[in-house]
A and B are shown apart, each in its own frame.
Chain A
Amino acid sequence: MASTSHNPKILLRRVFSLNESAPFILCIDDLSQAGWHIIEEFAQNVSQSTPIVYVGYETVNKPAFATHFIEGTTSVERLTIGIQSYLPSQPTTKRHLVVIDSLNYIPNDQISQFISNIVSPSVTLLGIYHRSESEHRPASLENYPSSLSLLHFMASTVLECAPLFNKSVDLEEVESEIQRFSIPRGLNATVSKIIMTNRRKSGRSLVYAFRYNSQDHSYDQLVETEEDQGVDDSQVLEGLTTFNLKTSNKQKLAREQVELPFLEAQSFNTGGAIVYEFEKDDDYDEEDPYEDPF
């Protein structure tokens, strides 16, 4: 029987309430679905006594749930000192949550150092990263991984925000609109999709998708149906030519029953053996040990 942590909904709830061991939780969002509701979901689920330190790069309003508010700054050293002043110097049993409303402001060459300075057994760091935002890469760090790759590597849980589209929506058109900074209507809605990647201690990653409603704080697992996984051949070929390219069910059955040539030859189960049959002209000497053909 699977343990409770293998129930995706329970696992997500445990992540939101900081009951899962996750020192660094990365929330990836973009222009089509902002990640603020993920932060608010954490604030909703963590215990009341958990101190929340909020680092605001993209807001100057102290959120109602935040215990301490720090304004974002260009100096990473100053920011680290500011955050650490609200955190316990020694590991404690009480958990602390540090929220950064955009990790995009931390330079690429300082981001790994910054995160390792903040996280500890009693401190969980929740950081938002805007996926499609370009970043400055110094020429000397040309082959250094991007911030997103580094964060992905360091995070114990990754929550990706994405909009939930109807099947009728042309995704290419939506993408092209966003590329021109023209946000289509219906995005950044209260109902969205969360893709959670949870890394177990063994190194195994569990990936689940959820339909998330930020208004009633409900989340249901999204299971890909067969229709989503592959489109039937007949639908692809329909209306493509004036020829009949479809196969009927009868034809499909007949095709499955055809025995391919040489299939018997590829069966190696029977094995091989030398079979000697004695003939009357054979000169067989029982006493000669080298004569034994068997």
Chain B
Amino acid sequence: MSNVQRQDLTIFNDQSVLSKSLFTEGLSHLLFVTHRLGTSPSWLINTITESYIYGIPFSLNESNTSAVNRKAVCTKPLVIASFIHESAYFTSSLNKLKIDSTQYRILDFLTDFALKYTGNPKEKVLTELINCLSKQSGRILILEQPELLIPLLNITSDELHLNFINPLMKMFSVVVLVSSVEGYENTNADSGEYQKKDMIDMIRYTHSCFHKSIVLLALKPLDTGRANDITGTLRITRGGASPSRLPVHVVENEYLFHSQRESTKLFYR
């Protein structure tokens, strides 16, 4: 792939990754990132973080790497909350990208989650998590794998959406949900195939996320197997939410990406 030209990531038709029009007062939008085994979304989380803080993803888009003047354009901090990674995982990668640490907050919902919340009623746990996030007074939230709350708290997907994700959407202008779709498939509901409760909840969770989202960013490995110069594909498609309140629209595209030690490159497919 060395001879192939690198491409810049754009999601919206104003040539942006995070369009300014997403941050209209009183409106909330959801971006849904799905990933599978072998295609970690950490580089995409970094890209979204950079795009929000500086307006441009310096580390990913080749045309912007020459820009020396890195000035934060955001007024409120970005919040990253994860149920599968501790704070150090994000701080180390964001520090490598030289992102101003005052512009983001990281909440670790992984460490000692069971110790902190065992025995508490599920409603109380969800309220505490929401309060914890609301204290950050951020404008954009990147929430990694909240679906883990379904088995952790023994709640249904509907409860998770209505009592956790919807309240968060009211608090933040943009919510980026990052979820794994490995291990279960969207089995047709009419097929009559027996499905376990856990499986139904995971399918319902992903469905609801899709119908709430304005854009779907799907990371997956190559169908043909492994390659030395390609890690996987990023497919950008429209979500199931109405875009009528947005002056911009999603540019559907598919990229090949190659993640090396500390950098990721995009190529057109």
Contacts and interface: CB of A to CB of B under 8 A. Distances in A.
Whether A associates with B in a native complex is: yes
Contacts of A189: 238
B166 A60 contact: yes
A106 to B, nearest CB: 10
Interface stretch (A67-75, A194-202, A217-225, A251-259): A67-75
A246 to B, nearest CB: 37
Nearest to A102: B211
Contacts of B200: 134-136
A61 B173 CA distance: 10
A188 B197 contact: no
Contacts of B186: 31, 132, 178-181
Most buried by B among A31, A40, A135: A31
Interface string B126-167: 000000000000000000000000000000101101110010
B244 interface: yes
Contacts of B218: 181-183
Interface in B160-203: 161-163, 166, 169-170, 181, 185-190, 195, 197, 199-200, 203
Contact of A134 (B34, B187, B245): B187
Interface in B199-254: 199-200, 203-204, 206-208, 210-212, 216, 218, 220, 235, 237-242, 244-245, 252-254
Interface in A173-214: 178-189
Interface of B, helix, strand, loop or mixed by DSSP: mixed
Given A59-B212, A181-B34, A185-B237, A134 B242 contact: no
Contact of B245 (A64, A72, A187): A64
A100 to B, nearest CB: 13
A34 interface: yes
B87 interface: no
A36 B241 contact: yes
Interface of B: 26-28, 34, 156, 158-159, 161-163, 166, 169-170, 181, 185-190, 195, 197, 199-200, 203-204, 206-208, 210-212, 216, 218, 220, 235, 237-242, 244-245, 252-254
A-B complex: 5 closest residue pairs judged by Cβ atoms: A34-B240, A36-B242, A188-B238, A185-B252, A181-B181
Interface of A: 29, 31, 34, 36-37, 39-40, 57-61, 63-64, 71-74, 102, 104-105, 130-136, 146, 148, 178-189
